[in-house]
Amino acid sequence: MDYLKAKGIKSLSGEIEISGAKNASLPLIAMTILAKNRVDIKNLPDVADIKTLLKLLSNLGASCNYELAGTTVDTSTINHTKATYDIVKTMRASILVLGPLLTRFGHCEVSLPGGCAIGQRPVDLHLKALEQMGAKIEIKSGYIEATAPNGLKGCEIIFDKITVTGTANIVMAAALAHGKTTITNAAREPEVVQLCEILNANGVKIDGIGTAILTIHGTSGKLLNISEFKVIPDRIEAGTYLCAGAITKSELTITKVEPKHLNSVLAKLEEMGCSFTITDSTITIHPTKTIKPVKIVTQEYPAFPTDMQAQFLALATQANGVSIIEERLFENRFMHVSELQRMGADISLNGNTATVNGKSKLSGTDVMATDLRASSALVLAGLIANGETNIHRIYHLDRGYDKLEQKLKQVGAKIERLEE
User: Which are the catalytic amino acids?
Assistant: 116
CA dihedral angle for residue 368, residue 374, residue 376, residue 377, rounded to 10 degrees: -100
Q: How many beta carbons lie within 10 A of that of residue 279, not counting itself?
A: 11
Triad 383, 385, 389: Cα angle to 5° = 75
Distances (CA, A) of 238 to 9, 274, 408: 21, 15, 12
Q: In this structure, what DSSP letter does residue 147 have?
A: E
What count of Cα atoms within 13 Å lies in the side-chain half-sphere of residue 116?
Answer: 27
Alpha helices in 90-179 (DSSP H): 98-105, 124-132, 164-175
Beta strands in 23-159 (DSSP E): 39-42, 63-65, 71-74, 82-83, 107-111, 136-140, 143-147, 156-158
**3 state SS of 296:** strand
CB 201 within 8 A of CB 173: no
Instruction: Select from 113, 222, 118, 220 the least CA-distant residue to 169.
Output: 113
